[in-house]
Structure 1
């Protein structure tokens, strides 16, 4: 196994920080054909950053929101979660993206659309940060311990490379392959998380640097983690109640990065074993989240402080029993 270790960039008394950019949108959730949807901050980038902030980590979103009511809603959600919002831009950027999720809680299925079910109007697309964002966030990008992104653009690459040069763990979770920029992002990534249902099916392990930690998700069949010649399969965790599997991948990433950051805080750096251990924690978190509607339904139903307690004490049978007593439908 290649023993990757990132250097510490902050004193032992300071908590390792996270910066990230990528898909941040309003999740508009229609459960069981109800005409009145609930709304929450969503998108993989938004979910991961918001969840880590709710768990008490210093988080710096570097994102481009719309200058509209939805953009203000998303900005407020970041603030309420405890994120540092100085790099969240809404000035003159138009309207905010919306992702519609239609959930059938009886059959535990869901589908997504970018078209309003009521008006048939297509919602705006996600927009990348620009050079000004990267310039303003440069000092922070040089000091964070983890940089997360789920999208690629020329300016996102600049942010990734700035963080990587400074020693950050760069976590890349692509939804699609984008030729030259994608290949450049893969070279920059410390950890790349690929889904069999999206970008993963187009990328072979031989195409990746052997030092890159590769996480491949296989839906209900669990996931595989590779580092050099080491390969480990992790079966899916048992879900005591399945209402909505949306956000499962984001919860795996959240649990993984939470453990990495906690150990980094104690030990001053991270190691590959932390990734393996974090995967198991993230899978248990994802399994519990399946019992609620929405990508962060567990956080909304149980409260962030209780999720924090569960992660610190270990997600055991007591935690699982408590979660199943909560209502299954969350509110944004």
Structure 2
């Protein structure tokens, strides 16, 4: 991975910063066979935070890992990407989660499992941060511009509400509905991103605050963004090559938040129009990422500097032409 900048940023920097918590795991990817898997930092939270750091933004992961080989790998990946890792905990009890992705690159399909296909051993589950983690990160949570979460727990809610009180944009991307805590998170969220395939099918728009920006993803049919009386549908972007659709949603979020952060830096705040513009850029980024295996295959194949340049140009035809010249698998 290419580090775009020094990690010597501070909370006093004028650059808008991001903090986040949620699913961070090792992605073990088997492409077309059960031999020679590749490994990368994964999970929606991990993918989004790492990608934003690679794109040059100040990023503060607040996550709980195990003090095992997988946890050390994840910590090192955050560091190499340029994240501030002071709030990445590596507890000496428990282990770090692993998600297995089995990809058929010919038919562009994939499936996930939490069991090793070689040893049949189940990998550990994700563990939330606790109240001590929130207390340690409290000053940062009061200073960041965006707080991202894809899971809920009592401690995550404390972090989310701390950032909300300080004026941060709260981006909530749940994978499931979790009754009381989920309801509390929805009330706190500035932007909530829901998939028709997971949490979105259980929640109607009229159950949400009309002031909340609601992004509903519809798979190959694109997505819809609603805010009050405004409702817009965005068709899917053309993918020049489809090998693996894993991580498409994370790339949409990455492109969206990247544009919001850039405009926030130049204009001192964000607007709803930035969300609409960011969605389109994120969709184009996701379409290019489909040409590679893994949730961040484009970053691994092209390099972070090249992806940064693509986003700055708005992802034009030259970007599309370039990615088709690259290998389809992250190990190519």
TM (normalized to structure 2)? 0.96
Secondary structure class of the residue paired with 1:65: strand
- Write the distance in 2 (CA, Å) between the matches of 1:322 and 1:225: 30
- For 1:207, the equivalent position in structure 2 comes to 207
Shift of 1:84: 0.0
After superposition, the Cα gap between the structure-2 partners of 1:167 and 1:280, relative to the gap in structure 1 and judged at 3 Å, is same
After superposition, the Cα gap between the structure-2 partners of 1:318 and 1:93, relative to the gap in structure 1 and judged at 3 Å, is same
Secondary structure class of the residue paired with 1:260: helix
Alignment of 1:295-310 (within 5 A): 295-310=295-310
- Write the distance in 2 (CA, Å) between the matches of 1:39 and 1:284: 25
Note if contact 2:34-2:117 (Cα within 8 Å) is conserved in structure 1. Answer: no
After superposition, the Cα gap between the structure-2 partners of 1:64 and 1:11, relative to the gap in structure 1 and judged at 3 Å, is closer
- Write the distance in 1 (CA, Å) between the matches of 2:145 and 2:47: 19
- Write the distance in 2 (CA, Å) between the matches of 1:148 and 1:277: 19
Alignment of 1:304-319 (within 5 A): 304-319=304-319
Shift of 1:253: 0.0
- Write the distance in 1 (CA, Å) between the matches of 2:166 and 2:331: 39
- For 1:126, the equivalent position in structure 2 comes to 126
Secondary structure class of the residue paired with 1:209: coil
How much is the aligned-residue C-alpha RMSD, in angstroms?
A: 1.3
Alignment of 1:148-227 (within 5 A): 148-227=148-227
Q: What per-residue deviation string (whole Å, max 9, x for no partner) do you get for residues 210-265 of structure 1?
A: 00000000000000000001100000000000000000000000000000000000
Note if contact 2:11-2:143 (Cα within 8 Å) is conserved in structure 1. Answer: no
- Write the distance in 1 (CA, Å) between the matches of 2:331 and 2:45: 20
- For 1:35, the equivalent position in structure 2 comes to 35
Tell whether 2:22 aligns with 1:17.
no
Q: What per-residue deviation string (whole Å, max 9, x for no partner) do you get for residues 35-94 of structure 1?
A: 110000000000000000000000000000011010000000000000000000003242
Alignment of 1:38-53 (within 5 A): 38-53=38-53
Show structure 1 runs of 4+ deviating over 6 A.
10-13
Structure 2 unaligned spans of 5+: 1-9
After superposition, the Cα gap between the structure-2 partners of 1:11 and 1:123, relative to the gap in structure 1 and judged at 3 Å, is closer
Tell whether 2:70 aligns with 1:70.
yes
TM (normalized to structure 1)? 0.96
Note if contact 1:302-1:323 (Cα within 8 Å) is conserved in structure 2. Answer: yes
Secondary structure class of the residue paired with 1:170: strand
- Write the distance in 2 (CA, Å) between the matches of 1:105 and 1:61: 32
Secondary structure class of the residue paired with 2:66: coil
Shift of 1:181: 0.2
Secondary structure class of the residue paired with 2:210: coil
- Write the distance in 2 (CA, Å) between the matches of 1:325 and 1:14: 38
- Write the distance in 2 (CA, Å) between the matches of 1:11 and 1:61: 14
- Write the distance in 2 (CA, Å) between the matches of 1:314 and 1:206: 34
Moved more, 310-319 or 252-261: 310-319
Shift of 1:13: 6.4
Q: What per-residue deviation string (whole Å, max 9, x for no partner) do you get for residues 121-170 of structure 1?
A: 11100000000000000000000000000000000000000000000000
- Write the distance in 2 (CA, Å) between the matches of 1:302 and 1:89: 30
- For 2:260, the equivalent position in structure 1 comes to 260
- Write the distance in 2 (CA, Å) between the matches of 1:22 and 1:314: 29
Alignment of 1:97-116 (within 5 A): 97-116=97-116
Q: What per-residue deviation string (whole Å, max 9, x for no partner) do you get for residues 256-306 of structure 1?
A: 000000000000000000000000000000000000000000000000000
After superposition, the Cα gap between the structure-2 partners of 1:11 and 1:178, relative to the gap in structure 1 and judged at 3 Å, is closer
Structure 1 unaligned spans of 5+: 1-9
Secondary structure class of the residue paired with 2:139: helix
- For 2:4, the equivalent position in structure 1 comes to none
Note if contact 1:128-1:153 (Cα within 8 Å) is conserved in structure 2. Answer: yes
Tell whether 2:95 aligns with 1:95.
yes
Note if contact 2:171-2:190 (Cα within 8 Å) is conserved in structure 1. Answer: yes
